[in-house]
Structure 1
Amino acid sequence: MIIDVHAHWGPWFFSMDVGSLAVNSELLDRFGIDIQLVSAIEAIVYDAPAGNRSLASQLPADPRLRGMIVVDPRRPEEARADLTELAGDTRWVGAKIHTDYSRTPIDSPAMRAAIELTSEFGLPTLVHTWGDNLLDLADVAAAVPDARVIAGHMGAAGWPLVPEAASRSDRIWFEPCWSAPEAGRIRWILDRIGPSRLMFGTDATLIDPSIALATFDAANLTPTEHEAIMWQNATSLFNL
């Protein structure tokens, strides 16, 4: 069983053909991914309500897909309306916040309010982290009652901060997909915090899933670590 907790649907503004849902389905087939949690690129980079509703029309096409409701911290009333409309549908299992595209720092009041909102609706929230704002996300998780957050990209080059982030809150998980992964980081983190806080993600369709799969293969996971990271942690957190 493989659950990809960090993926996307829709056209990127880069020079690649990733606009069709058929691209997602083909990647699931090719790499044996059983469930993929997707957010709409339109929602992340342009218009959250429009993108969320575009994805809503696509989700029924492949039963392996689950939706992540994109929340723009700058537009809280629209975010509440989206959560109210979509969160009751079992095809939507979480929320997604991209800090860079929304130009909202993780340590800002707007971000805390956004995490409070997604927590109010009981949704685990995948947040784009890069560098030392990984620690800021841990602090938000610690400060917001019932918050459950996943650090998308695990801070990228900030990955050595994972043990400290994990110590600041027991309600932050780590998803390490990255286009430039450094050797040895997965095993280094596992040796310090164990497998219960790590999850598998790919950043498809921006990044080919083979990179994330190879990253975990290189970590020489034990069977227990493999099961926890590839599906058990996600199943529990997202109630899949």
Structure 2
Amino acid sequence: MLIDVHAHWGPWFFSMEVGPIEVNSELLDRFGIDLQLVSSIEAIVYDAPAGNRALDEQLGVDDRLRGMVVVDPRRLEEARADLTRLAGDVRWVGAKIHSEYSRTPIAAPAMQAAIELTTEFGLPTLVHTWGDTVLDLADVAARVPGARVLAGHMGAAGWPLVPEAAGRSDRIWFEPCWSAPEAGRIRWILDRIGPDRLMFGTDATLIDPSVALGALEAADLTPAEADAVRWGNAVGLFGL
């Protein structure tokens, strides 16, 4: 079993022909991914409500796809409307917040308000982290009762901060996809925090899943670690 907790649907503004939902399906077939949690690129970079509506129409194309409701911390009333409409649908299993495209620092009050909102609706929230913002996300998780947050990219170049972030809150999980991964980081993290808060993600369709799969292979996981990271932690966090 393999579950990808960090993926996307729709056209990017880069020179890439990856917009159709069939691209997601082809990647699932090629790499043996059983479930993929996707957020709308339109929702992340341009218009959250419009992108969420568009993805809602696409999820039925492939029953291996699950939706992540994109929340823009600057547009919380619209986010509440989207969550009210989508959070009760079994096809929608989490929320996604991109701190940079929304121009909302993770330490900002608006970000905490957004995570309070997704927590109110019972959704785990994948948040884009880069550098030391992985610590900021842990602090938000500690302040918001019941919050469950997943640090997308686990800070990217800030990955050595993961053990400290894990110590600041027991309600933050980590997802390590990155376009420029450094050798040995996943094994290093596992040896310090154990396998129960790390899960597999690809950043498809922006990044080919082979990058994330290669990093996982290089970590030389034990069978128990592989079960936890490849699918078990995602099943538990997202109720899959």
> 2:196 maps to which residue?
196
Q: Which residue of 2 aligns with 1:214?
A: 214
Task: Specify the alignment match of 1:24 in structure 2.
Answer: 24
**1:87-106 pair list within 5 angstroms:** 87-106=87-106
Which stretches of structure 1, 4 residues or more, deviate above 3 A after TM superposition? Answer: none
- CA distance in structure 2 between the partners assigned to 1:193 and 1:216 by the alignment: 16
**Residue number in structure 2 paired with 1:80:** 80
1:230 — aligned with what?
230
Question: Alignment partner of 1:14: what SS?
Answer: coil
Q: What TM-score do you get using the length of structure 2 for normalisation?
A: 1.00
**1: CA distance, partners of 2:19 / 2:217:** 29
In structure 2, C-alpha distance between the alignment counterparts of 1:61 and 1:227, rounded to whole Å: 28
Cα-Cα RMSD: 0.3
Paired with 2:19 and 2:155, the residues of 1 have a C-alpha distance of: 27
Partner of 1:171: 171
Instruction: Tell me what 1:132 maps to.
Output: 132
The one-character-per-residue Cα deviations of 1:43-86 (angstroms, maximum 9, x if unpaired) are: 00000000000000000010000000000000010000000001
Is 2:162 the counterpart of 1:157?
no
Distance in structure 2 (CA, Å) of the matches to 1:73 and 1:18: 27
Shift of 1:190: 0.5
State the distance in 2 between where 1:107 and 1:14 align. Answer: 29
Q: Aligned partners of 1:45, 1:24: CA distance in 2, in Å?
A: 19
Q: Distance in 1 between matches of 2:182 and 2:220?
A: 15
- Structure 1 segments unaligned to the other structure (5+ residues): none
Aligned to 1:29, the other structure's residue is in SS state: helix
Q: How many residues align?
A: 240
CA distance, structure 2, for counterparts of residue 204 and residue 110 of structure 1: 28
Shift of 1:143: 0.3
Q: Which residue of 2 aligns with 1:57?
A: 57
**Letter paired with 2:61:** A
| Cα displacement (A) at 1:154 | 0.4
Distance 1:47 1:186 in 2: 34
TM-score, with normalisation over the residues of structure 1? 1.00
| Gap regions ≥5 residues in structure 2 | none
Aligned-partner residue type, residue 199 of structure 1: M
